[in-house]
Amino acid sequence: MADELRGGALARLERALGWAVEVPAAALVLADIAVLFAGVVARYVLHDPLLWSDELASILFLWLAMLGAVVALRRGEHMRMTALVSKLDSSRRALLEAVAIAACLAFLAMVAWPAWEYASEELAITTPALEISNLWRAAALPVGIALMAAFALLRLLRSASFKPVLQATALIVVVVAAFWFAAPLFAHLGKANLLIFFVGVAGGCVLAGVPIGFCFGLATFGYLALTTTMPLPVIVGRMDEGMSHLILLAVPLFVFLGLLIEMTGMARAMIAFLAALLGHVKGGLSYVLIGAMYLVSGISGSKAADMAAIAPALFPEMKARGAKAGDLVALLAATGAQTETVPPSLVLITIGSVTGISIAALFTGGLLPALVLGVMLCLVVWSRYRHEDLSQVRRTPRAEVLKLFVIALPALALPFVIRAAVVQGVATATEVSTIGIAYSIIAGLLLYRQFDWRRVGPMLVDTASLSGAILFIIGTATAMAWGLTQSGFSRWLAQLMASLPGGAPMFLAVSIAAFVVLGSVLEGIPAIVLFGPLLFPIARQLGVHEVHYAMVVVLSMGLGLFAPPLGVGYYAACAIGRVNPDEGMRPILGYMLALLIGTVVVAAVPWISIGFL
């Protein structure tokens, strides 16, 4: 009886606290959209820019990212790999589930004080436009961390059995204490510490089912706290930097846009037309997914946002036709890697900025390599679906296809309008996403006459949760990238590659292998900033064309970024598709092999990258 009363009280507390977080998180999504759209109207319609709009949106965005991460933790929607955990018996699985929660709580407890110190240091800084203390913005970090810790603790306390909770807590305490007391030993291990923390700790936590963002955080915190004299608030600062990148403002907006496209009937109109056009072809909608990602890639500047704009429009119909969820998310992740060089790519822009290569040349050179990888993916799709039974699928008459095209035209026009606006410089990716939201609302209300106001609230909460899960990973990955920089790893790698025998072919081969690994732990932009100035001069010395080398590097990083078990992009695709990462592990192997072969072809045939320069 006492246990039931305790459980009921904790459940009520958890629901009340959850409501107190979800409502502000949903309101922040709405407020960010409103502020950014007001900025667009002021700039392009009234020709009187709001100088404070971007700054206010940035403040709201960090709060949205942290509260969204809290909602994701409460819902259990942080991305994690459970392939090994799911194969264990129930008692061991319960223990590892408790270990995952306890590990999250340990990281949050360790980083809570540094987060408060970091926020306190921002008190004296005044924002340029609004002229308020930057503490209003930075306070999101300690508040979000405290709330996540509260929900993690509540989940442990609400566990049906205390035995695995006590065992997990004891295990985490012992491991943390062992690392703490071993600190003097790490001082003499040098670069071996990189293997211990960034491979051992991060990889071990991933395999144990700890959410990916917390795995990166634990590895980085451990490395900096135990092997360096760096002040710990630096970790929080790097997380802030990673989550606050201005282009990431587009992530929640494109996530919400994807949900709007589905809710307003635009997705149904597009799918009806595409199904009529290619429905009689074996694997037809998989080809549509590959082509759609090629067309919209780079529009938002964030691969996660690109996938979020495509998946809701295609996945429901593909599932209705019998496609497995794991196959869908595997192909979605693979197309994310395939289209990394399609302009306007932020990674290509970053390469141009840090190496001096013409961005126009990079944009020109990026189209054909992505097309080559797309062809490789199509071959895999053909192989997998060549025996698909379409006997029950009739070929749609041309007149009906034309009619469906006219109906779908407003929906089909949206990605082309967005892409044209970004490429022509009419508006930024973030601004365009707000225009897309307004366009979708108008189309849903006036053209498709389908708009369920009751679904808006849950959609806003879903947007906050998904965005928070993605942004938290990016934040901790950025902190990890900074930790690797401080270790001297980047310079050591450059010296090693410069001394390789075998000339340009060996240099390209090792570059592919190195950037596949780097891409799995670093976002593309931090990796390029770290290694671009070091490796591109070596490529020039060996006679490798800079644009050609850029394509090889970007495609290799994309392969690592979307390859499990460590690739962040893969887990982002799983979160967007709302699919357990375990389900896509096997199907993605064939796609990753195809992408690797395509990357080798691009590396071996320079003309693919530089033939149209």
Q: What angle do CA 409, 413, 417 make, to 5 degrees?
A: 165
| pLDDT, averaged across the chain | 83
Asked if 401 contacts 220 with a C-beta cutoff of 8 angstroms, the reply is no
Q: Quote the pLDDT of residue 488.
A: 76
Taking 60 as the threshold, does the pLDDT of residue 1 lie above it? no
Q: Quote the pLDDT of residue 222.
A: 92
- What percent of the chain is predicted at pLDDT more than 70? 90
**Mean pLDDT on 344-369:** 78
Q: How confident is residue 6, by pLDDT bands cut at 50, 70 and 90? A: low
Q: Is residue 369 domain-resident? A: no
Q: Given CA atoms 426, 430, 433, 437 in this order, what sign does their dihedral have?
A: negative
Asked if 312 contacts 257 with a C-beta cutoff of 8 angstroms, the reply is no
Taking 70 as the threshold, does the pLDDT of residue 5 lie above it? no
Tokens of 436: 């897309």
- What percent of the chain is predicted at pLDDT more than 90? 24
DSSP string, 96-149: HHHHHHHHHHHHHHHHHHHHHHHHHHGGG-B-TTT--BTHHHHTHHHHHHHHHH
* Interval 562-572: pLDDT, tens: 887 777 778 77
Asked if 610 contacts 602 with a C-beta cutoff of 8 angstroms, the reply is no
For 340, half-sphere exposure in the C-beta direction (CA atoms, 13 angstrom radius) is 28
**Mean pLDDT on 528-548:** 81
β-pair partners for 133 = 126
Asked if 253 contacts 434 with a C-beta cutoff of 8 angstroms, the reply is yes
Enter the pTM of the model. 0.78
* Interval 493-523: pLDDT, tens: 667 777 778 788 898 998 898 888 877 766 5
Q: Is residue 187 domain-resident? A: yes
Q: Is residue 439 domain-resident? A: no
Query: Which structural domain, as residue segments, surrounds residue 168?
Result: 2-244
Residue 594 to residue 464: CA distance in whole angstroms: 34
Asked if 557 contacts 527 with a C-beta cutoff of 8 angstroms, the reply is yes
Q: Quote the pLDDT of residue 414.
A: 80
The residue count for the chain: 613
Q: What angle do CA 410, 33, 578 make, to 5 degrees?
A: 75
Q: Quote the pLDDT of residue 502.
A: 79
Nearest partner of 487 among 520, 523, 530, 519, judged by Cα? 530
Residue 499 to residue 506: CA distance in whole angstroms: 11
Q: Quote the pLDDT of residue 390.
A: 63
Q: Quote the pLDDT of residue 3.
A: 56
Q: How confident is residue 144, by pLDDT bands cut at 50, 70 and 90? A: very high
Residue 152 to residue 600: CA distance in whole angstroms: 44
Taking 80 as the threshold, does the pLDDT of residue 368 lie above it? yes
Taking 90 as the threshold, does the pLDDT of residue 261 lie above it? no
Residue 258 to residue 419: CA distance in whole angstroms: 15
The pair phi, psi for residue 288, each rounded to 5°, is -60, -40
**Mean pLDDT on 200-213:** 87
Q: Is residue 13 domain-resident? A: yes
Residue 362 to residue 189: CA distance in whole angstroms: 41
Q: Quote the pLDDT of residue 108.
A: 95
Q: Is residue 538 domain-resident? A: no
142 compared with 80, residue with greater pLDDT = 142
162 compared with 148, residue with greater pLDDT = 148
Helix extents (H) in 487-502: 489-498
Taking 90 as the threshold, does the pLDDT of residue 317 lie above it? no
Q: Quote the pLDDT of residue 102.
A: 93
Taking 90 as the threshold, does the pLDDT of residue 112 lie above it? yes
Q: Quote the pLDDT of residue 249.
A: 79
Q: Kindly report the number of other CB atoms within 10 A of residue 90's CB atom.
A: 7
**Mean pLDDT on 247-254:** 77
Q: Is residue 445 domain-resident? A: no
349-371 burial string, b = 16+ CB within 10 Å, else e? bbbbebbebebebbbbbbebbbb
Q: Quote the pLDDT of residue 408.
A: 83
Asked if 166 contacts 102 with a C-beta cutoff of 8 angstroms, the reply is no
Q: Quote the pLDDT of residue 346.
A: 66
Residue 603 to residue 513: CA distance in whole angstroms: 12
Instruction: Give the single-character DSSP code of 282.
Output: T
Q: Quote the pLDDT of residue 83.
A: 65
Residue 384 to residue 372: CA distance in whole angstroms: 19
The pair phi, psi for residue 144, each rounded to 5°, is -60, -40
Taking 80 as the threshold, does the pLDDT of residue 248 lie above it? no
Asked if 129 contacts 51 with a C-beta cutoff of 8 angstroms, the reply is yes
DSSP string, 426-466: SS-HHHHHHHHHHHHHHIIIIIS----GGGHHHHHHHHHHH
Q: Is residue 515 domain-resident? A: no
Asked if 558 contacts 337 with a C-beta cutoff of 8 angstroms, the reply is yes
Asked if 331 contacts 591 with a C-beta cutoff of 8 angstroms, the reply is yes
Which range, of 193-202, 303-312, 452-461, 579-588, averages the lowest pLDDT? Answer: 303-312
Taking 80 as the threshold, does the pLDDT of residue 550 lie above it? yes
Domain count, the chain: 1
281-318 burial string, b = 16+ CB within 10 Å, else e? bbbbbbbbbbebbbbbbbbbbbbbbbbbbbbbbbbebb
* Interval 430-451: pLDDT, tens: 777 788 888 888 888 888 888 8
- Please list, in sequence order, all residues whose beta carbon lies within 8 angstroms of the beta carbon of residue 154, skipping any fewer than 6 positions away: 10, 13, 14, 17
Which range, of 144-153, 189-198, 501-510, 530-539, averages the lowest pLDDT? Answer: 530-539
Q: Is residue 207 domain-resident? A: yes
* Interval 452-467: pLDDT, tens: 888 889 999 988 998 8
**Mean pLDDT on 535-553:** 88
β-pair partners for 126 = 133
Taking 60 as the threshold, does the pLDDT of residue 299 lie above it? no
Taking 80 as the threshold, does the pLDDT of residue 417 lie above it? no
Taking 80 as the threshold, does the pLDDT of residue 542 lie above it? yes
